[in-house]
Amino acid sequence: MEGARMIPVDEAASLAMLRELERKVLWISSFMIHHANHEVDRGDGLKVGGHQASSASLVTLMTALYFRILRPQDRVAVKPHASPVFHAIQYLLGHQSLDQLQNFRGFGGTQSYPSRTKDKDDVDFSTGSVGLGVAITGFASLVQDYVHAKGWSKEWPKGRMIALMGDAELDEGNIHEALLEYWKHGLKNCWWVIDYNRQSLDSVVSDRLFMKLAALFENLGWKVVLIKYGKLLRRAFAEPGGQRLKEWIDDCPNMLYSALVFQGGAAGVGNSSRTSPSTPTPSRFCVATTTPLLPT
């Protein structure tokens, strides 16, 4: 990860640079999946390229992390379905080759889930086993504290251990066991970013469960920040009828949201009996951290 952070000339120039990098990362990662699905003849017609939506949902955040926020001592566990984004970033940083990207999910190519043993780029934590990559970040932070307490690493500063996860990964029991262990031992220097897209491969994520989990994090000593609306939506809310739009988005249950996405937005819109639920929908991103969010 050394050399990944870019020092901006000024804030406006930095943001403009990040936007250009974000566009490149989105294009490369999306085309990796398309190429694996449609342009590689494996003889059986199967599409093996992965999940473009759950990969693209982390492009902005990962661009900011790898090109602006991360320091050499920080470590990241990238959620499995965001591996194309990770590999695209590593390619732009010069740590990944074009032929490996072209062989995404193929034998000897970049892996569908980041792997320390099979990928040639700079993978911090293998995340193929759902939930384990998330939990290991906390235990890595505890080990780091132990090493520093013993005086074994005076020349190397403490890093932040960061997990990027899908919301459905919170179904994994080992994560909840880990949360209790972290609380017992005073976990520090750990960020978890939950990509809340309301959908898993198996089912729709429960509306009520997510906010229960946010409360669980807070009860165990984490600082929870909900991040929901970007500039485009905020501008839309300022237009006539914008408040009604905001209310509709806030009140839309996950089951209806998934149905609308599946139907391309054509089904259910305008049906007041289906768009007035009592349970609010939580945020697009949830950041849980045991340290302040601003870099030190």
Q: How far is CA 237 from CA 199, 232, 276, 286, in A?
A: 25, 9, 18, 22
User: CA–CA separation, 239 vs 173, rounded Å?
Assistant: 44
Residue given tokens 């669980």 in the structure block = 216
The per-residue pLDDT for 168 is 81
Residue type, 176: H
pLDDT band for position 271 (cuts 50, 70, 90) = very low
CATH number for the domain that contains residue 98: 3.40.50.970
How many of the other CB atoms lie within 10 Å of CB of 203?
12
Report the amino acid identity of residue 119.
Answer: D
Would residue 294 count as lying in a domain?
Answer: no
Task: Provide CB contacts within 8 A for 147, sequence distance 6+.
Answer: 153
> Is residue 2 situated within a structural domain?
no
CA–CA gap between residue 295 and residue 225 (Å, rounded): 16
Render 135-169 in DSSP notation, one character per residue: HHHHHHHHHHHHHHHTTS-TTS----EEEEEEGGG
Model pLDDT for residues 46-73, shown as the tens digit of each residue: 767 677 778 888 999 999 999 999 999 9
Q: How many domains does the chain have?
A: 1
Q: Is residue 295 a part of any domain in this protein?
A: no
User: Is the pLDDT score of 124 beyond 50?
Assistant: yes
Residue 150 lies in a domain: yes
Look at residues 193, 226, 197, 224 and name the one whose alpha carbon lies nearest to residue 76.
193
Domain assignment of residue 3, yes or no: no
Q: Average pLDDT in the 24-43 region? A: 86
Contact status, residue 130 vs residue 18, Cβ threshold 8 Å = no
Average pLDDT over residues 155-174: 90
Nearest 10 degrees: Cα torsion 112, 198, 214, 67: 50
> Is 205 a member of any domain?
yes
Give the Cα separation of 48 and 40 in Å (integer). 10
Over residues 141-160, mean pLDDT: 93
Has residue 187 got a pLDDT over 90? yes
Residues in the chain: 296
100 — phi, psi (to 5°)?
-70, -40
Cβ proximity of 102 and 76 under 8 Å: no
- Residue 62 domain-assigned (yes or no): yes
Cα 193 to Cα 86: distance, rounded to the nearest angstrom: 15
- Name the DSSP letter for residue 191: E
- pLDDT at residue 268 greater than cutoff 80: no
Residue 176 lies in a domain: yes
Range of the domain at 269: 11-289
Torsion of CA 164, 167, 168, 172, to 10 degrees: 60
Written as six digits, the tokens of 127 are: 């995340």
Residues 182 and 282: their CA atoms lie apart, in Å, by 25
